[in-house]
Amino acid sequence: MPLKLAIMISGRGSNMEALIRYAQRDDVPAEVVLVLADRKAKGIETASNLGIKIAIHDDEDGIRAALESAQAEVIFLAGYMRILSRQFCDDYHGRLFNIHPSLLPRHKGLDTHARAIAAKDSIHGCSVHLVSKDMDGGPVLNQLLLKIHPQDTPETLAERVLALEHKLYPSLLGDLAKKDGNLPLHIELAGLN
Task: Mark whether 100 is an active-site residue.
Answer: yes
Tell me which residue of 22, 68, 86 sits closest to 55, measured CA to CA: 68
Site for ligand GRF in 147-186 (CB under 6 A): 162, 165
Sign of CA dihedral 156, 40, 34, 94: positive
Give min distance, CB of 185 to ligand GRF, in A. Answer: 26
**Minimum distance between the CB of residue 159 and ligand GRF, rounded to whole angstroms?**
11
Candidate list 100, 113, 124, 129, residue with the active-site label: 100
Within residues 73-132, the interface with ligand GRF by CB under 6 A covers: 78-79, 99-101
Among 5, 13, 34, 190, binds ligand GRF (CB under 6 A): 13
3-state helix, strand and coil shares in percent for the chain, rounded to the nearest 5: 40, 20, 40
Contacting range for ligand GRF; rule: CB under 6 A; set: 11-19, 64-72, 82-90, 182-190: 11-19
Compare residues 13 and 138 and give the one whose CB is closer to ligand GRF.
Answer: 13
Q: How far is the CB of 164 from ligand GRF (least distance, A)?
A: 10
Number of residues that make up the chain:
193
What is the per-residue DSSP string for 67-135?
Answer: HHHTT-SEEEESS--SPPPHHHHHHTTTTEEEEESS-TTSS-SS-HHHHHHHTT-SEEEEEEEE--SST
For residues 44 and 71, the answer to whether their CB atoms sit within 8 Å is no
The site that binds ligand GRF (CB under 6 A) totals a number of residues, namely: 14
Residues engaged in binding ligand GRF (CB under 6 A): 9, 11-16, 78-79, 99-101, 162, 165
- Known catalytic residues are 100
